[in-house]
Amino acid sequence: MRLGVNIDHVATLREARKTTEPDPVTAAMLAEMGGADQVTFHLREDRRHIQNRDARLICEMAQTKVNLEMAATLEMQEIALAMRPDSVTLVPEKREEVTTEGGLNLLREGEKYAATVKALKDGGIRTAAFIGPDQAQVKEAAKLGFDAIEIHTGEYANAARRGPGDTLRAVQDAATAGRRYRLRVHAGHGLTYHNVHPVVQIPEIEELNIGHSIISRAVFVGMEQAVAEMVSLMIR
């Protein structure tokens, strides 16, 4: 199983003071040294954390894979085609949200994403859809030509403390559907050192993208160790 480390919150800390530190590019390099298989970041339309310069430097300097999260806009499409990350994960955006709150609604807005998916794939960039654990959405992702899905694990993460109940089963079922439709299956959102193990045990999931928990741990033990500790929890 691969680990993508989301470095957005390093940039969030920097932007809190509008200064130059901490540097998310340095964080990306340290994450790789800690064992990350991929660096993930979200270049938002409002540029609230990651900036264009960060994105460009990470794409140029990363020794592992780079995964760009972005909205399906023409501006972002052009940036992605210029920077050439290994993969793009399309996500919904709302300016008032603190973090990405839900998945794409491909059933309602599929036409909106189809052109972006085609343009990125024509440019040699793999595409993933960030969706809730809904089998109908998984099927639609396959119809629209996505290479992968990333299952939103937020409901599972919120429920995990009191017992995941049906939320883990929903993630499992969506992952199974993804494999059935020949999609690569990723997962992320709200995963921590304490709740990641059950998700790791879902065999169809190939990749986890985790940010806040790792960056929070890194404040106390350093980026390399924080990443290495998460990597150790993802061994099947």
Does 158 belong to an annotated binding site? no
3-state SS class at 137 = helix
Q: Could you give phi then psi for residue 40, rounded to 5 degrees?
A: -115, 140
Cβ partners under 8 Å of residue 165, min gap 6 = 159
Does 14 belong to an annotated binding site? no
42 is catalytic: yes
Does 73 belong to an annotated binding site? no
Q: Which single residue is written with the structure tokens 């995964």?
A: 67
Does 6 belong to an annotated binding site? yes
Catalytic residue among 42, 152, 155, 204: 42
69 is catalytic: yes
Q: What is the DSSP string of 13-29?
A: HHHHHTSS-S-HHHHHH
Taking the C-alpha atoms of residue 162 and residue 122, their distance in angstroms, rounded to an integer, is 45
Catalytic residue among 155, 186, 189, 204: 189
Does 20 belong to an annotated binding site? no
Does 192 belong to an annotated binding site? no
Catalytic residue among 32, 69, 150, 155: 69
Does 212 belong to an annotated binding site? yes
Taking the C-alpha atoms of residue 34 and residue 185, their distance in angstroms, rounded to an integer, is 23
Q: To which H or E segment does residue 38 belong?
A: strand 38-42
Does 127 belong to an annotated binding site? no
207 is catalytic: no
Q: Which residues are annotated as a binding site?
A: 6, 8-9, 17, 44, 49, 99, 190, 211-212
Which residues line the annotated binding site for 1-deoxy-D-xylulose 5-phosphate? Answer: 8-9, 44, 49, 99
Residues making up the annotated binding site for 3-amino-2-oxopropyl phosphate are 6, 17, 190, 211-212
Which residues are catalytically annotated?
42, 69, 189
